[in-house]
Amino acid sequence: MASQASQLRIPSKRAFGCLCAMVLVMSMAAAVTRSASATTSPGSVLNLQVTITDSQIRLEGHTGGGRYVSPGGHSAQFPRGVIIRFTFTNKGTKTYVPAIRFTNAKQANPYAPKPGLATAEKVAPGHHVGLFGNFYFRGAFNIEKLFHKKPQGRPIAVTIY
């Protein structure tokens, strides 16, 4: 019986050159993709001072959010994705609870529970307390002071655009 010899095809120089060119193009594309920056990455953390008195609550714009806080500190607008660290200082005579009330969460994360009210610890007269927030979705909220679980005075209206 005669054995059949199988024929192995050796790739041509042209096919080998095309393969090398394709590998080079793919590696260059991967390098460009890795160096691209993300458009939704968070920026720096804003440190905002919030002053609580017996008559009002007010944002101090000069300490970090000057371009976002309106004159007088009774409203503010921040871009989506901002990270804010609020420091509430009580300059009043009563103990208050700082709170953030979400008033419009239509564009919030549909898979997460809808936020209602976020509170900090009680802040006694002459003391301060912090509250940290990541604002990844557009919406509106109010910064309030609570006395015996009831809002006191005019809230600060904040919009995330």
How far apart are alpha carbons 141 and 77 in whole angstroms?
10
- pLDDT band at 89; cut points 50, 70, 90: very high
Q: What is residue 105's predicted lDDT score, i.e. its pLDDT? A: 65
pLDDT in tens, 101-149: 888 766 666 777 766 888 999 999 999 999 988 888 888 899 999 999 9
How far apart are alpha carbons 82 and 96 in whole angstroms?
26
Q: What is residue 35's predicted lDDT score, i.e. its pLDDT? A: 47
Q: What is residue 111's predicted lDDT score, i.e. its pLDDT? A: 74
Q: What is residue 100's predicted lDDT score, i.e. its pLDDT? A: 92
pLDDT in tens, 19-63: 556 655 565 555 555 544 444 555 668 899 999 999 999 998 755
Q: Where are the domains of the chain?
A: 45-160
Q: What is residue 45's predicted lDDT score, i.e. its pLDDT? A: 83
CATH homologous superfamily of 45-160 equals Cupredoxins -  blue copper proteins (2.60.40.420)
Stretch 91-95: mean pLDDT: 95
Q: Are 154 and 56 in contact (CB under 8 A)?
A: yes
How far apart are alpha carbons 31 and 111 in whole angstroms?
34
- What pairing do the DSSP bridges indicate for beta strands 45-52 and 82-90? parallel
